[in-house]
Amino acid sequence: MLAAVIAAYILLLRYTSRWQSEHEFNATQFWQSDQPVILTLWHGRLSLIPYLAPNDVHVTVLTSNHKDGRIIAYTLELFGHKTVQGSSTQGGATGVRKMLADAKNGCSLLITPDAPPQKAYTCAKGVAELARLSGLPIIPCAVSTTRGKQLNTKDRFVLPYPFTTFVLRYGEPLMIDRKASKEERIAFLMQIETSLQTLTQEVDDAVGHKEWSA
C-alpha cells in the first residue's frame, strides 16, 4: 500500500514539473549500442530513479534488506524495474553477484553507493567492485529540485514538491580494468565519490539550494 502511494507521488512529480536534463549523451552513447551501464546516484536523491533511464532500457536496482529498502523495491517494481536486495559494502555480497548476472544478460544496473548504514555522500566499496568485475562503465548522476525540503535523515533525503523544476545531470563515464591493483581500486572509488559530489553540488547550485550539498 505504501509503495503504491509513493509511486503515485512520483508520478505526480513527473507530470506537474519541468525537467532539465544535461549531458545525457554520457549514458545514451552506450544504450544506443545496446551496451549496459552502471548508474550511480546518492541515496538521498532516489525519488527520481524511475526516470534516469529510457523506458526501453532494462535496469536492475540494488536495494537494501531493511524495511525501507523493501518499500523502495516494491515502488520501483511498480515502474517496471527489477530489484535485487543486498549490500554495496562488500564487492562479493549476494546482491552484487546477482547484479553481475543481470549485467551479463544486457541489463543496466543502478546503485546508490551511500545507502544506509553508509555515511551520506560517501561511496561504499561495492560500487567500484561492481564496475571492475562487470567491465561496465559507471555513469554518475545527480538530480536536484527548485522546490523541496532536505529531511533530517541519515541519507540527507531531499523530498521534492510538485510543480517544481528538476535539474538532472549525467557525469562522464568512469571505467576500471578488471586487473586493477588494490591502490588503483581505492583511487577509482574516490574518483566515483568525487564525481558524484561535484555533480550534486552543481545541480544544487543550479536550483538555488547550495546548502543541501554543504
Q: What is the pLDDT of residue 65?
A: 75
The domain containing residue 176 runs over which residues? 2-213
The CA-atom distances, in angstroms, between 41 and each of 15, 125, 162 are 22, 14, 21
The pLDDT tens digits of the residues spanning 77-90 come to 998 889 998 766 55
What counts of helices (H) and strands (E) characterise the chain?
6, 9
Instruction: Calculate what percentage of the chain has a pLDDT beyond 90.
Output: 74
Match 535523515 to its residue by C-alpha cell. 153
**Greater confidence, 119 or 116?**
119
Total structural domains in the chain? 1
Question: Taking Cα atoms as reference points, which of 5, 69, 22, 18 lies closest to residue 43?
Answer: 69
CATH number at residue 28: 3.40.1130.10
Question: Residue 120 is placed in which grid cell?
Answer: 551520506
Give the pLDDT band of residue 91 (cuts 50, 70, 90).
very low
pLDDT tens, 155-195? 999 999 999 999 999 999 999 999 999 999 999 999 999 99
Residue (of 100, 156, 158, 155) closest to 127 by Cα position: 100
For residue 89, what pLDDT is reported?
57
**H/E segment holding residue 15:** helix 2-16
First CA to last CA distance, the chain: 35
pLDDT at residue 29 tops 50: yes
